Amino acid sequence: MVERGIYDLSTWVAGLWFLPPTVEVPVCFKELGFDQIPAGAEDVQKRYWSLAKQRHPDAGGSVEDFKVLKEATEAALKYLQSGEKINTRPE
Protein backbone atom coordinates (compact mmCIF):
# COMPACT_ATOMS: atom_id res chain seq x y z
CA MET A 1 0.00 0.00 0.00
CA VAL A 2 2.89 2.31 0.72
CA GLU A 3 4.35 1.69 -2.74
CA ARG A 4 1.05 2.67 -4.35
CA GLY A 5 0.86 5.83 -2.29
CA ILE A 6 -2.44 4.83 -0.69
CA TYR A 7 -1.24 5.17 2.88
CA ASP A 8 1.66 6.86 4.55
CA LEU A 9 3.90 4.38 6.40
CA SER A 10 3.15 6.01 9.74
CA THR A 11 -0.59 5.48 9.19
CA TRP A 12 0.00 1.81 8.47
CA VAL A 13 2.23 1.32 11.53
CA ALA A 14 -0.27 3.14 13.76
CA GLY A 15 -2.92 0.60 12.73
CA LEU A 16 -0.82 -2.27 14.07
CA TRP A 17 -1.77 -1.28 17.61
CA PHE A 18 -5.31 -2.45 16.91
CA LEU A 19 -4.48 -6.07 16.12
CA PRO A 20 -6.26 -8.63 18.33
CA PRO A 21 -4.23 -10.16 21.16
CA THR A 22 -2.68 -13.55 20.58
CA VAL A 23 -4.51 -16.52 22.10
CA GLU A 24 -2.47 -18.82 24.33
CA VAL A 25 -3.08 -22.47 23.45
CA PRO A 26 -3.82 -24.50 26.61
CA VAL A 27 -1.44 -27.30 27.55
CA CYS A 28 -4.07 -29.98 26.94
CA PHE A 29 -4.22 -29.07 23.24
CA LYS A 30 -0.43 -28.95 22.96
CA GLU A 31 -0.21 -32.48 24.39
CA LEU A 32 -2.59 -33.60 21.65
CA GLY A 33 -0.34 -32.00 19.03
CA PHE A 34 -2.48 -28.95 18.21
CA ASP A 35 -0.72 -25.64 17.58
CA GLN A 36 -4.03 -23.76 17.87
CA ILE A 37 -7.37 -24.41 19.53
CA PRO A 38 -9.39 -26.76 17.27
CA ALA A 39 -12.82 -25.88 15.92
CA GLY A 40 -14.71 -28.55 17.83
CA ALA A 41 -14.83 -31.73 19.83
CA GLU A 42 -14.82 -33.84 16.66
CA ASP A 43 -11.28 -32.68 15.85
CA VAL A 44 -10.14 -33.60 19.36
CA GLN A 45 -11.73 -37.04 19.12
CA LYS A 46 -10.09 -37.74 15.75
CA ARG A 47 -6.69 -36.72 17.11
CA TYR A 48 -7.24 -38.86 20.21
CA TRP A 49 -8.01 -41.98 18.18
CA SER A 50 -4.99 -41.52 15.92
CA LEU A 51 -2.66 -40.98 18.89
CA ALA A 52 -4.25 -43.78 20.93
CA LYS A 53 -3.30 -46.26 18.22
CA GLN A 54 0.35 -45.28 18.74
CA ARG A 55 0.44 -44.75 22.52
CA HIS A 56 -1.74 -47.61 23.79
CA PRO A 57 0.27 -50.12 25.84
CA ASP A 58 -0.97 -53.00 23.67
CA ALA A 59 0.46 -51.22 20.59
CA GLY A 60 3.91 -50.70 22.11
CA GLY A 61 3.27 -47.42 23.94
CA SER A 62 3.72 -46.79 27.62
CA VAL A 63 1.03 -46.71 30.28
CA GLU A 64 2.10 -43.22 31.38
CA ASP A 65 1.94 -41.77 27.85
CA PHE A 66 -1.52 -43.22 27.34
CA LYS A 67 -2.69 -41.86 30.69
CA VAL A 68 -1.43 -38.37 29.74
CA LEU A 69 -3.22 -38.67 26.40
CA LYS A 70 -6.52 -39.59 28.07
CA GLU A 71 -6.24 -36.76 30.61
CA ALA A 72 -5.38 -34.24 27.90
CA THR A 73 -8.33 -35.37 25.79
CA GLU A 74 -10.74 -35.09 28.70
CA ALA A 75 -9.43 -31.63 29.58
CA ALA A 76 -9.63 -30.49 25.94
CA LEU A 77 -13.22 -31.68 25.60
CA LYS A 78 -14.14 -29.99 28.88
CA TYR A 79 -12.47 -26.78 27.67
CA LEU A 80 -14.42 -26.82 24.42
CA GLN A 81 -17.72 -27.47 26.24
CA SER A 82 -17.33 -24.86 28.95
CA GLY A 83 -14.86 -22.38 27.46
CA GLU A 84 -12.83 -22.32 30.69
CA LYS A 85 -9.07 -22.02 30.79
CA ILE A 86 -7.73 -25.41 31.88
CA ASN A 87 -4.22 -26.83 32.28
CA THR A 88 -3.73 -30.54 32.80
CA ARG A 89 -0.28 -29.96 34.25
CA PRO A 90 2.10 -27.00 34.48
CA GLU A 91 4.75 -26.50 31.82
Query: Could you report the per-residue pLDDT of 44-55, keeping only the tens digit for each?
Result: 999 999 999 999
Residue 61 lies in a domain: yes
**Minimal CA–CA distance to 90: which of 44, 35, 34, 31?**
31
Query: In total, how many domains does the chain have?
Result: 1
DSSP 56: S
**pTM strictly above 0.75:** no
What CATH number does the domain containing 46 carry? 1.10.287
Residue 13 lies in a domain: no
What does pLDDT average to over the chain? 83
Residue 17 lies in a domain: no
Give the domain extent around 34: 22-82
Positive or negative: CA dihedral 20, 21, 27, 33: positive
Under a CB-based contact definition with an 8 Å cutoff, are residues 69 and 22 in contact? no
pLDDT at 54 (0 to 100): 93
Residue 3 confidence (pLDDT) above 90 = no
pLDDT at 4 (0 to 100): 65
- How far is 26 from 34, CA to CA, in rounded Å? 10
Residue 89 lies in a domain: no
Selected residue with higher pLDDT from 89 and 44:
44
Residue 87 lies in a domain: no
Residue 60 lies in a domain: yes
